[in-house]
Amino acid sequence: MARTRAAFSVIEEESDIIHLEQINRSNWEHCIELKLKEEQQAFMASNLYSIAELQFLPGFTAAAVYLENRVIGFAMYGVDPDDHNYWIYRFMIDETEQGKGYGTEAMKILIGMIMNAVDRTDIIRIGYHPDNEGARRLYSRAGFQIEGIAHWGEELAAYHFNS
């Protein structure tokens, strides 16, 4: 059974084996050790960079994705000050755990957390490299709809909450 917290600042959501926990002093180093497949590395900033970037992004937070008690992924998300929508800036699953459905499950949990946040918006946006087929498939399975290429070159997709 999933547990959801309504406040944005307290994040914890669980499934039977996957759960997300806010980045903290006990898990941040595990997050920076995660790796993408070699062919994916050019598609995303490192988790270390993302954790540093959080210091300058008010309204954003990061979460470690756990498989039972082991960190296997990373997510960074929040309300973008430019368009006032939720954005998922980073989402990754370690190369050793890809292709097992954990990314889709973790993304659905993250969507549920945003849906129940006190500052929820009507849509969640995500951008990714147009050549990142794995990301496109994962986001599509989670319910995102492709919107096209942004002026900065990323493919954009949006998840629309039913009103």
Q: Give the pairing of strands 123-128 and 86-93.
A: parallel
Question: Which alpha helices (DSSP H) does the chain contain, by range?
Answer: 28-33, 47-53, 102-115, 133-141
Contact between 74 and 59 under an 8 Å Cβ cutoff? The reply is: no
DSSP 3-state of 151: coil
Q: Rounded CA gap, 105 and 135, in Å?
A: 14
> So what's the pLDDT on residue 15?
58
As averages over each run of 10 residues, the pLDDT of the chain (163 residues) reads 35 69 96 93 92 94 96 97 94 95 95 93 94 92 94 94 73
